[in-house]
């Protein structure tokens, strides 16, 4: 009897998980495909000295020419950072003018590390 109760409970739990996964469906899949892109807009030398784990280097002076190749979807969430926050603010305005819509300035490297909870790789 105890075995039957355990088996029934496990079957119900599995069915609930299948239902929850199918109920989320396309919305969950769309969210997964909209992974945030973390962009460091500093120079290559600054990036080599230390950057956030998982960040891509797109220096401010070339971001307008290179962003489409790296991030083709204009509604992709993009987080930007630099040394102090000034260049990432300029990059945000540049990307906004190019039609990107989901932009966030994380500020300087240390602030970006804290707010994104990503370590600095040196």
Q: How far is CA 111 from CA 77, 81, 87, 117, in A?
A: 19, 9, 14, 10
Radius of gyration of the chain from Cα atoms?
Answer: 21
- What is the C-alpha separation between 65 and 60, in angstroms, rounded? 10
Q: How far is CA 119 from CA 9, 22, 54, 98, 116, in A?
A: 41, 35, 9, 30, 9
Catalytic residue (choose from 82, 95, 106, 109): 82
CA 40 to chain centre: 12
Task: Reply yes or no on whether 82 is catalytic.
Answer: yes
Active centre residues (catalytic)? 82
């Amino acid at each position: 009897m105890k075995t039957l109760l355990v088996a029934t409970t496990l079957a119900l739990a599995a069915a609930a998980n299948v239902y929850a996964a199918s109920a989320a469906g396309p919305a969950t899949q769309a969210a997964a495909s909209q992974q945030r892109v973390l962009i460091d807009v500093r120079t290559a030398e600054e990036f080599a000295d230390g950057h956030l784990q998982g960040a891509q280097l797109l220096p401010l002076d070339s971001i307008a020419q290179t962003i489409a190749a790296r991030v083709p979807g204009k509604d992709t969430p993009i987080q930007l950072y630099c040394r102090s926050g000034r260049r990432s603010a300029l990059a945000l305005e540049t990307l906004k003018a190019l039609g990107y819509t989901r932009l966030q300035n994380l500020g300087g490297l240390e602030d970006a590390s804290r707010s994104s909870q990503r370590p600095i790789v040196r």
